[in-house]
Amino acid sequence: MSMQSRHLLASLALALPLLAAAGTPFSFGVIAHPENAATAAASLKEAIAQTDRDNLAFIVTTGIKADDEPCSDELYRERRALFDSAKNGLIVSLAAGDWVRCLDARKRSTAIERIAHVREMFFTDEFSFGDSKLPLVRQSAIPSFRLYAENMHWRIGDVLFATINLPNNNNNYLNAAGRNSEYEDRQVANSDWLKRLFITAKSNRLTGIVLFADANPLAHRARTSGFFSSEKREGFASIRQQIVQAAKEYPGRILIVHGDNDADRDAGRQHIVWKENIGALRIDPSWTRIRIDPAQPQLFAVSRHVGNTGTARQTPNQ
């Protein structure tokens, strides 16, 4: 291991709690972010109620609100109270509608102000929401990245789980000179976060990594455009390259769990789509149950829960 890797590993050793014995199968749930304001509160309440009745290690919600809901303090407070009412440990993975699509009354972006407020409201505790408190390691514990509390990781058995802030609006890259400081700073933080995750997984000989993100960076493709082209730069290129390269050097499986309908309309709708050791799974309403069994070569298996019936069905993995 290089000196740089040793330094990264040492700085990451903020406590990596082992929440289950290695080799023990377990399941977790992922709740899709609401589709529209009219049904948002009811759908989230129903999904949490259903997951409360299941035997799950934890649940992740892929967003706080629907895109067309207001970015108001009142709504954020209501959602925080709802998330804290869950029986299982609940972790929030941010979506674009939670901050980057927020506008004021004059239709001007309030993304920077809103992400700061969301971080203060949802990402200050050392534990998850819900009755079953999961200890979380936040990137904000690293002095250089104290803003990025939404990037978290936790470990169960031989699998490392982590959130990473990748909004599906082209990673919030703005096609205008001098307006991308938020994107550029978060790129540095996300790149460092991924390095630490892969070093941790490799050094602990973990069999899997699960990344929760709004976008699926692997589904986006870089655009070729000239210097004077007006085409928008593809905002996931460097993150995609980093994940693909790290996967080549990691012997385990990597699963990207996302809600990126625009970039991934077909792939992953009914199953995990694998390309070598990287898999992608899109979460559709209302929630999805994922089982991890270290005895199985694919490691992950999926059950879909559709609508308000709570009906589950096993789906094959490719």
> Does residue 170 lie in a domain region?
yes
Q: CATH number for the domain including 199?
A: 3.60.21.10
Q: What is the pTM of this model?
A: 0.88
> Does residue 316 lie in a domain region?
no
> Does residue 318 lie in a domain region?
no
In angstroms, what CA-CA distances link 92 with 122, 177, 190, 227? Answer: 8, 32, 17, 39
**Is the per-residue pLDDT at 80 higher than 60?**
yes
| Residue numbers of the domain that contains 281 | 3-309
Pick from 15-29, 46-60, 95-109, 123-137: least confident: 15-29
Structure tokens at 286: 């209302």
Pick from 133-147, 148-162, 182-196, 252-266: least confident: 252-266
194-222 pLDDT tens trace: 999 999 999 999 999 999 999 999 986 54
Q: Which is more confidently placed, 185 or 230?
A: 185
DSSP 3-state of 285? coil
- Of 213, 29, 58, 197, nearest in space to 127 by CA: 58
Mean pLDDT to the nearest integer, 180-185 = 94
221-261 pLDDT tens trace: 544 343 333 456 789 999 999 999 999 999 999 999 999 87
| Phi, psi at 138, each rounded to 5° | -105, 145
**Is the per-residue pLDDT at 127 higher than 50?**
yes
> Does residue 315 lie in a domain region?
no
Q: Report the number of distinct structural domains present in the chain.
A: 1
Q: What is the pLDDT of residue 20?
A: 59
Give the rounded distance of the alpha carbon of 241 from its chain centre.
Answer: 18
The CA distance from 221 to 68, in Å, is: 27
Q: What is the pLDDT of residue 261?
A: 75
> Does residue 277 lie in a domain region?
yes
